[in-house]
């Protein structure tokens, strides 16, 4: 297809999930990520076309998240039938995106004006017209499938001041952003977010978010991001781009020149609180000391309460096993917990993490392994109801920072000033024996992160190797801090019993 980046910029966020394109694809092949697809079918071979067919029986009724038809559809033997067949595969809430000519495309083809296409769409169910835009001799239209009778209704832009906050990051980054969203909404803005799917779980049920513009990774190629952001900035009264506001500004990215600067210099420029910096980037430099917020449905709250009620009488520790980098793991967890369990029979430890974290779990009657089993929202809400949360710098400890739950955080590339400064009931476990800490770096390779040798504190036997920051907190320190929190919990129980 010709250079229709303008169409990709406007439609990219609607081409999510599983879908079909008839004709040349808009979305780069690199953007087809795990568990999603955008199969491209056409009449002639071309870039990205994987099948030559006009029959879509292989797809189930209402099973697709998006359908895109391009000018090639006008050359089908029965264009109307092809369009209606494709529409029938689209689920409620899915999007039908069309890029068409409004004039005849040459001998042997059919004229397919946009009004004719919209008529066919309206005859196939209830729709909301999200966009109609003409450029370069083409018309781009986007429709959202609704429940209800036939017809097309027009989407109406919200009234008042509109702000778009752009943030491509992980769950922890989304949590750091939530105080800014609250402030913008309180100041009367209609708040839209341009985010990737990875952080959505932290934003669900947030009352300060009016609209989500979600795009899969690499839907917009990196070389086009600057142009893409400039496009969106022109669509809103205010545009706040927080992408790389922490990673990039306060955590130096491996491969970039600032990554290889002296640790003292990095500390002098990057030892800034993440929450304060985010508020400043959003236009509120004088608002300091905020904490993140998470919002759960009544059903989620009931489920969590029911689960933790089964553990009544136990000191419940939620231990986050791993984070996004190799240094966000505590390598002495197992010996630490085995020691803990011997003197604390009334304690249980729930482990959380991804499926890879299951390799770190070990069998014990006081262990409840949930890594790879709990969903993200289940894990996040557990930080509200646990008696103690322990983990590295990851989504779980950021979630715990939203609540008064006691928490212990293994710091690695961040300092207490960066991350835990404003968190309530927090013990920042500083790897003071690691001379590289705090490095203020994002490590993508193990070679860039200093490695140390772990040894048995009694025999001196070598136990293995690990990043210096991850092994920089002794098990003795961890057990001492756990004991303090345990004794406070025990004292509270005695008061309640009295």
pLDDT above 70: residue 50: no
Confidence of residue 253 (pLDDT cuts 50, 70, 90): very high
pLDDT above 80: residue 251: yes
Structural domains of the chain ordered from first start: 5-154 (3.40.50.150), 162-281 (3.40.50), 298-497 (3.40.50.2000)
Structural tokens at position 26: 């808009």
H or E element, residue 114: helix 114-122
Rounded Cα–Cα distance for residues 20 and 90 (Å)? 10
Per DSSP, the three-state class of 205 is: coil
Mind listing the pLDDT tens digit for each residue in 183-240? 999 999 999 999 988 899 999 999 999 999 988 888 888 899 999 999 999 999 999 9
pTM over 0.85: yes
Rounded Cα–Cα distance for residues 1 and 211 (Å)? 31
More confident residue, 299 or 137: 299
**Torsion sign, CA atoms 151, 154, 158, 163:** positive
Position 464 scores a pLDDT of 76
Tell me the backbone φ, ψ of residue 171, rounded to 5 degrees: -65, -40
Tell me the backbone φ, ψ of residue 242, rounded to 5 degrees: -100, 0
H or E element, residue 238: strand 238-241
DSSP labels, 36-100: -EEEEEESS--TT--EE-S--TTSPTT-EEEEEE-GGGGGSTTHHHHHHHHHHTEEEEEEEEEEE
Least confident interval from 223-227, 284-288, 492-496: 492-496
| Average pLDDT of the segment spanning 354-371 | 95
> Contact 23/69 with Cβ under 8 angstroms?
yes
pLDDT above 50: residue 108: no
Position 498 scores a pLDDT of 47
Position 26 scores a pLDDT of 80
The percentage of residues in the chain with a pLDDT greater than 70, rounded to a whole number, is 92
Q: What angle do CA 234, 235, 239 make, to 5 degrees?
A: 70
Rounded Cα–Cα distance for residues 100 and 488 (Å)? 67
Crossing angle, helix 274-281 and helix 171-186, to 10 degrees?
50
Is the preceding omega at residue 438 within 30 degrees of 0, hence cis? yes
DSSP labels, 330-397: -TTHHHHHHHHHHH-TTEEEEEE--GGGGGG----TTEEE-TTTS-HHHHHHHHHH-SEEEEESSHHH
Mind listing the pLDDT tens digit for each residue in 14-48? 988 888 888 877 877 666 665 667 778 877 777 66
Confidence of residue 431 (pLDDT cuts 50, 70, 90): very high
């Amino acid at each position: 297809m010709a250079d229709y980046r303008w169409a990709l910029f406007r439609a990219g966020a609607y081409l999510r999930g599983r879908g079909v394109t008839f004709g040349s694809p808009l979305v780069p092949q690199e953007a087809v990520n795990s568990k999603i697809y955008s199969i491209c079918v056409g009449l002639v071979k071309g870039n990205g076309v994987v099948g030559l067919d006009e029959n879509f029986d292989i797809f189930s009724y209402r099973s697709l998240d998006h359908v895109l038809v391009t000018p090639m559809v006008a050359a089908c033997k029965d264009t109307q039938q092809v369009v209606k067949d494709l529409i029938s595969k689209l689920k409620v809430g899915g999007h039908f995106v069309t890029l068409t000519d409004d004039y005849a495309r040459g001998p042997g083809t059919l004229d397919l004006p946009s009004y004719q296409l919209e008529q066919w769409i309206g005859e196939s169910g209830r729709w909301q017209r999200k966009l109609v835009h003409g450029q370069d001799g083409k018309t781009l239209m986007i429709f959202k499938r609704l429940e209800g009778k036939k017809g097309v209704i027009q989407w109406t832009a919200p009234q008042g001041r509109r702000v778009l906050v752009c943030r491509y990051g992980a769950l922890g980054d989304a949590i750091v952003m939530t105080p800014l969203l609250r402030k913008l909404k309180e100041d009367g803005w209609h708040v839209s977010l341009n985010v990737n799917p990875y952080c959505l779980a932290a934003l669900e049920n947030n009352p300060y978010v009016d609209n989500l513009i979600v795009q899969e990774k690499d839907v917009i190629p990196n070389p086009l991001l600057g142009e893409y952001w400039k496009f969106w900035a022109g669509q809103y009264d205010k545009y706040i781009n927080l992408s790389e506001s922490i990673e990039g500004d306060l955590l130096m990215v491996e491969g970039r020149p600032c990554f290889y600067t002296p640790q003292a210099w990095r500390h002098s420029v990057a030892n800034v609180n993440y929450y304060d910096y985010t508020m400043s980037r959003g236009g509120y430099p004088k608002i300091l000391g905020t904490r993140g917020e998470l919002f759960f449905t009544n059903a989620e709250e009931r489920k969590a309460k029911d689960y933790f009620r089964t553990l009544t009488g136990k000191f419940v520790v939620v231990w986050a096993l791993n984070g996004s980098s190799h240094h966000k793991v505590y390598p002495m967890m197992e010996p630490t917990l085995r020691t803990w369990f011997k003197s604390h029979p009334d304690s249980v430890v729930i482990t959380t993490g991804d499926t890879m974290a299951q390799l770190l779990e070990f069998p014990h009657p006081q262990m409840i392994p949930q890594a790879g089993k709990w969903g993200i929202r289940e894990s996040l809400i557990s930080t509200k109801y646990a008696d103690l949360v322990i983990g590295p710098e990851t989504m779980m400890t950021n979630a715990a920072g939203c609540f008064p739950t006691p928490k212990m955080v293994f710091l690695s590339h961040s300092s207490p000033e960066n991350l835990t400064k404003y968190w309530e009931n927090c013990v920042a476990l500083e790897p003071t024996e690691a001379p590289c800490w705090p490095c203020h770096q994002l490590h993508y390779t193990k070679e860039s992160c200093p490695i140390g040798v772990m040894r048995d504190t009694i025999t001196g036997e070598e136990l293995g190797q690990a990043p210096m920051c991850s092994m920089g907190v002794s098990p003795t320190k961890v057990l001492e801090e756990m004991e303090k929190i345990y004794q406070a919990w025990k004292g509270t129980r005695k008061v309640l019993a009295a």
